[in-house]
Structure 1
Amino acid sequence: MSGWRDNCLGDGSFAHIGGLVATRLRDVTTDLSALDGAGWWAVVVTYEGKVTCARFDDVRPAPPGPRLAAGREPWRGPEPGAWHGSLDQAAYEAGVEKIRAYIEQGEVYQANLCRVLSAPLPRAGRDPLALAVRLAEGNPAAHAAAIALRGLTVVSASPELYLSRDGDLVESRPIKGTARTPEGLLDKDRAENVMIVDLVRNDLGQVAEVGSVAVPDLCRVEEYPGLVHMVSTVRARLAAGQGWPELFAATFPPGSVTGAPKSSALRIINELEPEPRGPYCGAVGWVDADRRKAALAVGIRTFWLEDDQIRFGTGAGITWGSDPRGEWRETELKASRLIALASYRETGGVT
């Protein structure tokens, strides 16, 4: 793969995702219906619903992980102490208590509370592919992605499938429940997972053939670098006439990063979170319209670069059984490994 980025258009656009490398950008659209047409697309949809679909003409297999061409600079991220969050610990824990109060009032059963971490980027070593290399080495992920377009750069190590598609068969694998070890998972985690599975079933049911929604796997414990997650699988077959616009309208934002009921959770999130989530908690992935195949991840464990800053989001699902300090620690656990990999210290390593 050496030198492949040199074959990109002059604006440097590329996508490295799903075991493929895509270059020679043809066009960009905000219209999800284009994904029901033709071509291979890299897709980023922010949590707030801003759609970017980029069609590439040159799409070819890539080695298992991204590599830097000879002579390219390795990643040089911000200093470890340069990161600051949209919510500090006191504000986050107060937000948890506010959500518990809403639960007590019957307005919501669960809501995700997130914070965005930001740090200034040094001028040298900003290559997003170099960050993707760093993440692939230190935190390999099933849905890793690096997408660079004019005005949009996203590097993700997401473990969570938002939607896959094979013809009319669609699947979602929501994650709810996180701990350092399987023994650390709580009854609260299983209850949270089951609630979100029910929400995803209902979402997919809006666009699925009657009777086709199924849950072949419930609350499976899976190991990831530095932690474990509880993961379920929801599967359905799209009804006739239902395409990507309808699928997104029914299921976005993903239930695992919003809450239940989703409408109430969205309102509470908007009230308590001071900054937009951006690509974090949105969708990042690819769609092959010609083959009618796709894999879109939930934009967790995801960095994005904008305005000379690097940003990263982390959060937790809040239920009545939530402990505010414990939920803060869960957000720290989810962020710590990735932030360390993206940070730089004088010895040339990571924290």
Structure 2
Amino acid sequence: MTTIAMPGALTVLPPLSLYIHFPWCVRKCPYCDFNSHEAKNGFDDAAYADALLRDLESALPAVWGRPVRSIFIGGGTPSLFSAPALEKLLDGVRARVRLDPDAEITLEANPGTFESERFLAYRQAGVNRLSIGIQSFDDGKLKALGRIHDSAQAHRAIEIACRHFDNVNIDLMYALPGQSLEQALSDIDQALAHGVTHLSAYHLTIEPNTLFHRYTPPALPDDELSADMQEAIEARLGHAGFEHYETSAFARPGRRCQHNLNYWLFGDYLGIGAGAHGKISLPDGVWREMRHKQPAAYLAGVEAGTAVQTRQKVGRRDLPFEFMMNALRLTGGFDSSLFVERTGLAPAMIASRLDDACARGLLGRADGRLFPTGLGQRFLNDLLTLFLSEGASHHD
């Protein structure tokens, strides 16, 4: 880590990651609240790669000289990138930052966009981890979710991915419309049969600003059945040798997602691309940024040198909540000294709240670590609320 002189604040800079957002997709899924836009009129991925590199160059003064530990290319559907455009992008990143030789470089992919030759080219360009948005292997459930792929395409995509990559994540959802416990576990079993190294299992929720929320929300399993699904999924994956290391993430030993771990441990990340968020620690405190969301506005902003739409310092009263909102997603918790290291705040600032959380059985302490108990994992929002100071505002 890089040491800096920051009396009364941070004494070391946290690890730095790079997030790159690709905003286009073939079709907007009705449950999706990410910054994604249907590519109705196509897009120029080479021009977008150029814009990303210009955006990166303009952001370098804030992170100058710091090594980049991981890259995550998310979306949207980044697997719509042509192989030459992605190679141009990653070569350009390497020319501009100190990328660790063993950096984890993840690309998100949609099963409806898989081509073996293209994904081999992605691997040759430097991508070493693939994350595939499967969601379900049930054709009826996929149709209800508005996905562009079917079960056969999902299986074929995983087979191609495992042929070219030795580190593959599958995204699955549970508590889907009309889903039974047996159907949820069938999705897990089919994923395990492929021998993937990482699995993310997300509870489907109806978020504001989604088509599901705007029109007729589908009927979802009740809370009791959803809880049974979560418990059964955790047990099935644990039996298969997967570590449940984060709220929705499971990994084989040594295969935890390093990029996401940096988020959860309140590390820094530079976000470039339309709608990308970033968190950067500077001598005067922790700052959050967001780029323009609409692709056209983002491209115009890059051209004008104003790609960043909002930039805001995280207030001292907000920092405990911001830190805990990330770190308490980790089932194993974190070293208690990390709070001081990543926020620059004194331990006394949260001492009474830690005591309260422990007294309620939501938080545990052992061997210098703090961790959510089983009850705390189940009622994580209640646990986090204890760290939200009265009168404080949360900005992300």
TM-score, with structure 2 as normaliser: 0.24
Q: Which one has a bigger Cα radius of gyration?
A: 2
1 or 2 for the larger relative contact order (CA 8 Å, sep ≥6)? 1
Q: Which protein is richer in strand relative to its size? A: 1
Q: Which protein is richer in helix relative to its size? A: 2
